[in-house]
Structure 1
Amino acid sequence: MVRSFAIVDAPSNLGLRPPTPGSVPGCAKAPGALRDHQLVARLSARDAGCLTPPRFDPGDWRPGDGVCHAAAIAGYSRALADRIDAIIDAGDWPIVLGGDCSILIGSALAMKRRSGPDGAHGLIFVDGHSDFRHPGNSAYVGAAAGEDLALVTGRGQPDLTDIDGQRPYFDASRVAVLGIRDGDEHRVELTASGIAHRTVPQLRAAGAARSAEWAIDQLGDVAGFWLHVDVDVLDPSVMPAVDGPDPGGIAHSELQQLIRVCASYEECLGMELTVFDPDYDPDGEYAAAIVETLARALA
């Protein structure tokens, strides 16, 4: 299938905690770093611009106050959904460059808006973590990037789970998770919630390409689906430039296969890439590796 790509920057870091007191997460620099390695040219993509996020400013937020930056994230999510809708309506395939995982809320809202008589939309969630923290399983929430899967399946505070009355953006039965670690604390709850998932050892045992096919099968009969890719699914030996590197991840070649198979389906309406932090990549080698993986996967 020949696709016409459109790349849009979504450099929001609103879903993360400060790396150190008073500092700002560096993942907002990711789109620029990837563009510096010729991502737009490598994919012969249309430049769909940059959606500038609100300022990262926790202010007087304290644990127990709910999700930090919630109002700003909600507003940004609406704007991102508008941008994704416009790209798809123009006949292009959106590639959204984050930013942290909270940008999934905007992508999910765009998918929910497109659901209708022809059916609902699904989500393939490729991530090193389940991101399923919510008030029902944690004493405190606060960083939306660690809660995004819970939020887009309707678990959490209404100003983020029910934007424009669209809760839930994805039904749990139409979500498949790939690449979480064996020790993920929410694996049991994912199963109980009806969210299909494969850990890295399970993915590797079946093979990356077959695991991608399996994940798509788990979505059932959907009108379309979105692909979320958090680069912390990669092992820190090849991708340490993330905010939460955990050992036991996959290789670039496996991520390439996952993206290639998912994107080969006509029902795949677009993808996002999140959590790469150029502050941990002073020589640009990890940005170059991400661009190479995307270019090979989407060629």
Structure 2
Amino acid sequence: MRRIAVLDAPSNLGLRPPTATSVPGCAKAPGALRDHGLLTRLAARDAGCLTPPRYDPGDWRPGDGVAHAAEIAAYSRALADRIGAIIDGGEFPVVLGGDCSILIGSGLAMHRLGEAVGGRIGLVFVDGHSDFRHPGNASYVGAAAGEDLALVTGRGQANLAAIESRRPYFRDIDVVVLGIRAQDEYRLDLQAAGIVTRPVPILRAEGAARSAQWARDQLVDCAGYWVHVDVDVLDPAVMPAVDAPDPGGIAFPELELLLTGLVESPHCLGVEITVFDPDYDPDGRYAAEITSAVVSGLAPVRSVTARPDLIAARRDLATPPKTGAAVAESRAAREVAEPVAPAAASAAPEMPVVVATTPKGPLVVATTPEVPVVVATTSEVSADIPEPDAADVTGVLDPEVAASAEPDSSGTGEVGAEPEPVLAIDDLAPEQESGDEESGDQESGDEESGDQESGDEESGDEEAGDEEARSDADGGQSARVAPAVPEVRLLTRPLGSAPMLDSDPLPATRPGMLRPRPPADPPAAGAFTTSTFGSGPAIPPGVA
């Protein structure tokens, strides 16, 4: 069971002034409806009132864009916050406008909600006018209440159509328009945009209840939908108290059936009522009619269960993720709760390390317990000694041992100074894949032969290095030779225990990028190839 929460949004910023010396009276609508017992009859919670900025069009002229744009944008953000808070509480928001520009705030709230649940939110637009005027189909714009559908579908100036860089708030295919007049000025633009409509003649021919079901069927791919109701959808014969009455509308019983059919689904997220102007209702009878229609139409809301997935998604979105400090604190708390036994701590031998700083960064490997710690920096390593290739390392380092080594970046050789970035050998190791046994044996054989050849090359490099060192010594120049690196013991790590990445790997480390290439076909007889092993493309004879 959902409880209704009524929120007043008495904004008239989206309308033109009715006269040169007056302001639109729709800001009085929430008070007029409350005076007729709307909250009591709905058994609703009073969610308060969001006071709008001052109405002052100033010296606005055609071509200046939407009037009150900055004020409407700020008000829409605040309204979206209030609507989101109501939904977070598991309640059903009923927003009392105000003019149709409050749809921008509702649309912003729905876009936030869609982002939280990972789905799209739809819009059922019940209005006597399409409100689809925008710079692409009109010479100028000015009143947001006549452009609200265009703005929430991403058409118009960015400070209203793309608040918080969200554009559009509703996609065209997620919008259903009900109740526009058959001769609406922008009906062809709606059709071209792919927005489905059901004008009043078709709505009446099919029936209000079936039209509501039809609208819900159009939004089956959405995670939910919002309902916008402009009371000028009613015929002026029964509702003249609006800013732009237009003949050919529906009656109050049809509006009640529409509302009932739309809100009886748990996917309906809320309703807004707009454009009623009490200035044209001096005796209050039209306010009483609207109140009765809203109470009757929203009766099914109390029998529908709130959707816990929306509440949970909003709660998860509002919960800030744990930072590195928070994770460290939780880890320290676990260590305090489960202290290590003294015997076990003393039994664990200290693991010395060897740290060699290379142009790519320090290289950290684990050694046997019998070998002391050796730290060598680039200032102590001769340029004649080849740089160790991390891709030749076939083991995996112990992360705890690597984290305990802190080489001195100043080159003094002292441990405990500020560490330099550690070269991650795991990221450089080629990825191995399982395949057929025959292909696996063949690849392993190729790798063994490659290891033998690389070993021959390394021995050749060592002999060349010895000869160069002797020649330098004969010439009277002393060469600084790095201390001998002791034999290392590489620690293995079980499969599947590699650390998780916070983002996608770089293109150079994506699976398959470092996989050994399969041997190419042998070259044709008499052909010359650029590769010793026949892996390169063959060059025909006679080509330079």
Does the TM-score normalized on the shorter chain lie above 0.5?
yes
5 Å-filtered alignment, 1:1-299, equals 2-116=1-115, 118-299=118-299
Q: Helix, strand or coil for the counterpart of 1:23? A: coil
The 2-side partners of 1:50 and 1:143 are apart by 23
Q: 2:342 is matched with which residue?
A: none
Query: Residue 215 of structure 1: CA displacement?
Result: 1.1
One-letter identity of the residue aligned with 1:70:
A
Q: Helix, strand or coil for the counterpart of 1:101? A: coil
Q: Helix, strand or coil for the counterpart of 2:261? A: helix
One-letter identity of the residue aligned with 1:123:
L
The 1-side partners of 2:256 and 2:33 are apart by 16
Q: Helix, strand or coil for the counterpart of 2:47? A: strand
The 2-side partners of 1:123 and 1:12 are apart by 21
Deviates most, 109-118 or 31-40: 109-118
The 1-side partners of 2:130 and 2:155 are apart by 13
Q: Helix, strand or coil for the counterpart of 2:101? A: helix
Q: Helix, strand or coil for the counterpart of 1:269? A: strand
Is the Cα–Cα contact under 8 Å of residues 200 and 249 in structure 1 kept in the other structure?
Answer: yes
One-letter identity of the residue aligned with 1:205:
A
Query: Residue 235 of structure 1: CA displacement?
Result: 0.4
Is the Cα–Cα contact under 8 Å of residues 57 and 68 in structure 2 kept in the other structure?
Answer: yes
Q: Indicate the structure whose relative CO is greater, using CA pairs within 8 Å and at least 6 residues apart.
A: 1
Query: Residue 3 of structure 1: CA displacement?
Result: 2.5
Query: Residue 118 of structure 1: CA displacement?
Result: 3.3
The 1-side partners of 2:2 and 2:242 are apart by 29
Q: Helix, strand or coil for the counterpart of 1:164? A: helix
The 2-side partners of 1:37 and 1:221 are apart by 38
Q: Helix, strand or coil for the counterpart of 1:180? A: coil
Is the Cα–Cα contact under 8 Å of residues 200 and 248 in structure 1 kept in the other structure?
Answer: yes
The 2-side partners of 1:294 and 1:137 are apart by 34
The 1-side partners of 2:224 and 2:298 are apart by 18
Query: Residue 289 of structure 1: CA displacement?
Result: 0.2
Is the Cα–Cα contact under 8 Å of residues 79 and 105 in structure 2 kept in the other structure?
Answer: yes
One-letter identity of the residue aligned with 2:75:
Y
CA deviations over 1:119-160 (Å, ceiling 9, x no partner):
110000000000000000000100000000000000000000
Query: Residue 109 of structure 1: CA displacement?
Result: 0.2
The 2-side partners of 1:169 and 1:220 are apart by 18
Query: Residue 218 of structure 1: CA displacement?
Result: 1.4
One-letter identity of the residue aligned with 2:225:
F
The 2-side partners of 1:71 and 1:241 are apart by 28
Q: Helix, strand or coil for the counterpart of 1:190? A: helix
Q: Helix, strand or coil for the counterpart of 1:226? A: strand
The 2-side partners of 1:118 and 1:108 are apart by 16
The 2-side partners of 1:112 and 1:137 are apart by 25
The 2-side partners of 1:119 and 1:285 are apart by 42
Aligned length in residues: 298
Q: Helix, strand or coil for the counterpart of 1:58? A: coil
The 2-side partners of 1:223 and 1:124 are apart by 13
The 2-side partners of 1:141 and 1:157 are apart by 10
Is the Cα–Cα contact under 8 Å of residues 174 and 220 in structure 1 kept in the other structure?
Answer: no
CA deviations over 1:5-58 (Å, ceiling 9, x no partner):
000000000000000012100000000000000000000000000000000000
Query: Residue 298 of structure 1: CA displacement?
Result: 1.4
The 2-side partners of 1:188 and 1:216 are apart by 23
Q: Helix, strand or coil for the counterpart of 1:245? A: coil
The 2-side partners of 1:78 and 1:173 are apart by 24
Is the Cα–Cα contact under 8 Å of residues 67 and 141 in structure 1 kept in the other structure?
Answer: yes
One-letter identity of the residue aligned with 1:165:
S
The 1-side partners of 2:109 and 2:278 are apart by 28
Q: 2:393 is matched with which residue?
A: none
Is the Cα–Cα contact under 8 Å of residues 181 and 200 in structure 2 kept in the other structure?
Answer: yes
Q: Helix, strand or coil for the counterpart of 1:176? A: strand
Structure 1: unaligned runs, 5 residues or longer = none
Query: Residue 241 of structure 1: CA displacement?
Result: 0.2
One-letter identity of the residue aligned with 2:40:
A
Structure 2: unaligned runs, 5 residues or longer = 300-544
One-letter identity of the residue aligned with 2:284:
G
The 2-side partners of 1:118 and 1:162 are apart by 19
The 1-side partners of 2:297 and 2:154 are apart by 31
The structure carrying a bigger strand percent of its residues is: 1
Query: Residue 60 of structure 1: CA displacement?
Result: 1.2
The 1-side partners of 2:173 and 2:21 are apart by 40
Is the Cα–Cα contact under 8 Å of residues 95 and 272 in structure 1 kept in the other structure?
Answer: yes
The 1-side partners of 2:220 and 2:136 are apart by 27
The 2-side partners of 1:118 and 1:65 are apart by 37
Q: Root-mean-square deviation (CA), in Å?
A: 0.7
Is the Cα–Cα contact under 8 Å of residues 2 and 90 in structure 2 kept in the other structure?
Answer: no
Query: Residue 234 of structure 1: CA displacement?
Result: 0.2
The 2-side partners of 1:219 and 1:68 are apart by 33
The 2-side partners of 1:3 and 1:298 are apart by 11
One-letter identity of the residue aligned with 1:265:
S
One-letter identity of the residue aligned with 1:55:
R
Task: Give 1 or 2 for the bigger CA radius of gyration.
Answer: 2
